[in-house]
Amino acid sequence: MRRIITINSNQVNKSIETKKILTEKLINAGFEVTYEFYEDAELIISIGGDGSFLKTVHDFDFTQTPIIGINTGHLGFFPEISPNHIDNFIKSYKNNNFLVQDISLLKANICTNNCNSNMYAVNEVVVKGDKSRTIHLSLNVNGKHIQNFSGDGMIISTPTGSTAYNYAAGGSIVDPSLNLMQLTPAA
């Protein structure tokens, strides 16, 4: 049976070098490695930082295939593996010694006078006015009116995104296992 792993990497030198090392080690461990997504891939590995991880999620259209990250960036909330621990990762993965964590996605339908846009997000959706103007929002959740809001914008974040822009704007940090979303006004 083919065991396909897809690798997605940014173009930073450390990431490119890590991608070469990882590819060789995975092939030696009996995996088939691709750099494009295949429906029968069992795992996607993102190499880079948080931005690369989120880009991978978007690049592969929020696939159900598990994604893990190797951190060659700075912060690294999403990518959990250090390049120095690739051998341990491969050994644990081959022995089914891992845990898959589901994270909540946010689906937003943004309606303006001119358009209607649907989108998905891992961290947050931010609705802002253009040209530094105050915007007026009618906030509805699951079809139920919550409130009207006027200001610079609104941040709607998932638990995973609570430590990102939401926190910087004064929102709370919440445990990623909670099933909630947070609404944080921007001024």
Q: Which residues are catalytic?
A: 50
43 Cβ contact list (under 8 Å, min separation 6): 5, 6, 65, 66, 67, 68, 93
3-state secondary structure of 152: coil
3-state secondary structure of 104: coil
The DSSP line for 44-91 is EEEEESHHHHHHHHHHTTT-SS-EEEEE-SSS-SS--B-GGGHHHHHH
